[in-house]
Structures are given as structure tokens and as C-alpha cells.
Amino acid sequence: MGWKGLSSALIILCYSSLSFAEVSGWEWFERSQSSVRQYNFEASFVVIKPNQVDSYRWIHGVQDNSEIEQLMPLEQSGVEILRRDQMVYYIAPEKAPLATSSSTIKELPALLYRDIESIKTLYDAVPGGATQLSGRSAQLLRLTPLQNGRPGYWLWLDSQTGFPLKIDTLTVQNEVLERWVITHILPHATLPEALSIAASAELPAAAETMPTVALPETPLQLSWLPEGYQEVSVTSAMVPQQVLEQWLLSDGLHQVSVFVQHSASLPAQAFRDGATTIFVMPNKQFDVTVIGPVSIETARQIAESVR
């Protein structure tokens, strides 16, 4: 099936009763998720940060109602990532595959995989205008955060299929922090050959249990969480000995890590690596490090809440 056939199938099966003007923001978003998760394709994309560009080859398919996808970096040798439904495998040359339980590959945009109802609690979806992108008509969709401190997203979706062509991660001032761009896509009528081989490969049936290090009991507590975030358990974590305490926070889409270490007498630091903030707040007794896709101000508030 060519791209034209894929487009026609998606429109006829899912959206034949909707005209272009009648499609709401969340219908566009649902269309985008469906176009990624229900079809067979090969694609290439780049992730652009202020001082870094990474490129990947991405292959996705569906076989017997099960998803399988593969992600490979294009400009560096190393780890290949394979997902078969709820299992993700990290495969490196001459090493046994590392298996983890997950329904997503973290290097792919989480927006395309998370439950739409949970995303609705965090964002408002507003369609924008249509434009030309890579020779195709693209519909702009803005995801505006309902609470401060959370990044916003602008998605450019193929006007026929809803397939995401570009995703910008933005500050509240609409400054681009990180850009994800499809550079090539090839639809397939059946499971791509590379995935047919991966689907039958012998791989660990269960996630490996990574060693955990028990943290010493401390009186430290996290007294404030950003709106919409909850503390979640840290599983299969290898904790460095110098860490006194750690927390993992999640709003269902993003994750923020908080670490407490012995004071190193370092100055306060705050910088961004694309959409990720790294904030270090020194204290007389300990240093607090916050890492995650939140604003610097939100990271500061989290660090100051350690008591």
C-alpha cells in the first residue's frame, strides 16, 4: 500500500463523516496517534536541540494485533532498540539483550503513545491553520498546557492521514526548546521485512531484574509537587552510593527525577538540554538536583521543597 492508499484507508475507515473544518483538536490528536500505531511503515526523523542533532531510522508494524517497532540511530553505532508490545529490548553488539517492561520506546515522542484521556487532563488541543511541509499539506495542532511549568507542543500533522510530520516542544513564551521532524517515510502493505525477522527472534521472555541499592533512611521529604504530578516508585534503579534520597515524579506524560546528595560546595546551576531542565541547588548540608521537562522556575520550587 502506498502513501496515497494509506491516506485513503485512514480517511474512509475512521473519518469519512467529518469534513476538514469539522475535525476538533482532540480528533486531530486521536487521528495522529492512530496513524502511528495502526500501520506498517519505515521512517527517518531527526531530533534538533540548540547544540545537537540526532537522527534515527524508525520501523513500525502490526502483526496479529500486536505492535512491533525498531529504532536505530543513524549517525552512531551502538544500541538498537526493539519493542514487541509490552517489552522493550536494548540490543548491542556482542552483548546479551537487555529486556525491560514498557509499552513505549522513550526515544520516541511520548505524546504519540500515552492514553489520550490522561493527556486531556494536562492540555487543551486547538487546531491551527494548514501549511505546506515537505511537499504535503499539514495541519497545525497546538497543545496548550493547563498548568504553568509544563511544556507546550505544536504538532504539524499530515492533513489527510494525521501522521505527525513535525513536533515542536515549547516554553510558555512559545520559544522552541526541541524539534522532532520526519525526513522520510515509506508505508508498507504488510509487516516490513526487518520486523518480520525481529518478530521471530529469540529474546528474553521477561524483564531482567536489575540490582537495586537500598538508600539509608533519612528525614528528608519532598513537601511540594507541581500541579498534576504524583510521586511514583523507582523500579530497577541502580542508585549511586553518594545519593542520599531520590524521588521520581510523573504527570502521566512527563517524568521528573529529584536527587539529594552530600554537599559538594558547588554554585547553583540551571540550564536546559532541549526540553529537559537540569537544576542544581546547593545547601549547607546537601545538594538537590532536579532533572526533567519542566521550567527552570518549577525545578527551583521542587528543589526548595526538600526538607
Indicate the residue among 144, 179, 200 that finishes a domain: 200
pLDDT at residue 15, as a whole number: 42
Q: Which residues pair with 168 in a beta bridge?
A: 154, 179
Res. 13: pLDDT tops 90? no
Residues 151 and 35 placed together within one structural domain of the fold: yes
In a domain, 98, yes or no: yes
pLDDT at residue 163, as a whole number: 96
Res. 5: pLDDT tops 60? no
Give the SS3 label for residue 64. coil
Model pLDDT for residues 216-267, shown as the tens digit of each residue: 566 899 999 999 999 998 754 445 557 889 999 999 999 999 999 998 888 8
Residues 271 and 187 placed together within one structural domain of the fold: no
Query: From edge to edge, which strands make up the β-sheet containing 243-250?
Result: 230-232, 243-250, 255-262, 286-292, 276-282, 269-273
Residues 143 and 39 placed together within one structural domain of the fold: yes
Percent over 70 (pLDDT), the chain? 85
Residues 183 and 281 placed together within one structural domain of the fold: no
Residues 15 and 127 placed together within one structural domain of the fold: yes
Neighbours of 142 (CB within 10 A): 18
Domain hosting 257: range is: 230-304
pLDDT at residue 240, as a whole number: 55
In a domain, 216, yes or no: no
CATH number, domain with residue 134: 2.50.20.10
Residues 279 and 160 placed together within one structural domain of the fold: no
In a domain, 208, yes or no: no
pLDDT at residue 111, as a whole number: 96
Percent over 90 (pLDDT), the chain? 67
Indicate the residue among 178, 200, 222 that finishes a domain: 200
Residues 249 and 185 placed together within one structural domain of the fold: no
